[in-house]
Amino acid sequence: MTKSIEEILLPKPEVRLRVYAYSIDDEAHQGLLKVGQTTRNVKQRIAEQLKTAAIKNYRIELDEPADRTDGSSFTDHEVRAALVKKGFENPELEWMRCTVADVQTVLTELRTGQRFTGTHHLYPCEPIYYIWGIG
């Protein structure tokens, strides 16, 4: 008996989880990214976090959906755990000592279920023109 695509894939939730990372441009946060999640507007969520501390020298480095290719989602906890497993430092709470490319690589791994070395965050396939030797 064949199942329909709707029966195979998990339904997408109405509220979509997003994973974000931001940096703060000061000596204390040098080389660190805050990796978090929200179901709301990322820019608004980060502003809420930093407003009470009057921090204005921040930059949103990453704002992506936390969706796997099968329709399920992953959390910021999974992102940070995957970064730690790769050897990146988690000095405090949601702060990671890594680059944006490192986070993007982990996001791709969580989406696809594949593991990559280095910072290969693009899907693991060559464009068709490379396969044919055109590029």
| pLDDT at 62 > cutoff 90 | yes
In a domain, 8, yes or no: no
The whole-number average pLDDT for the span 63-87 is 96
Alpha-carbon distances of 123 from 48, 51, 114, 127, rounded to whole Å: 33, 36, 10, 10
In a domain, 49, yes or no: yes
Q: Are 96 and 88 in contact (CB under 8 A)?
A: yes
Q: Please enumerate in sequence order all residues whose Cβ is within 8 A of that of 40, keeping only pairs 6 or more positions apart, or say none.
A: none
pLDDT digits (tens, 9 = 90+) for 30-52: 999 999 999 999 999 999 999 98
Over the Cα atoms of the chain, what is R_g? 17
In a domain, 4, yes or no: no
| Structure tokens belonging to residue 31 | 């080389």
Report the domain count for the chain: 1
Domain ranges, residue 121: 14-131
In a domain, 28, yes or no: yes
In a domain, 45, yes or no: yes
In a domain, 90, yes or no: yes
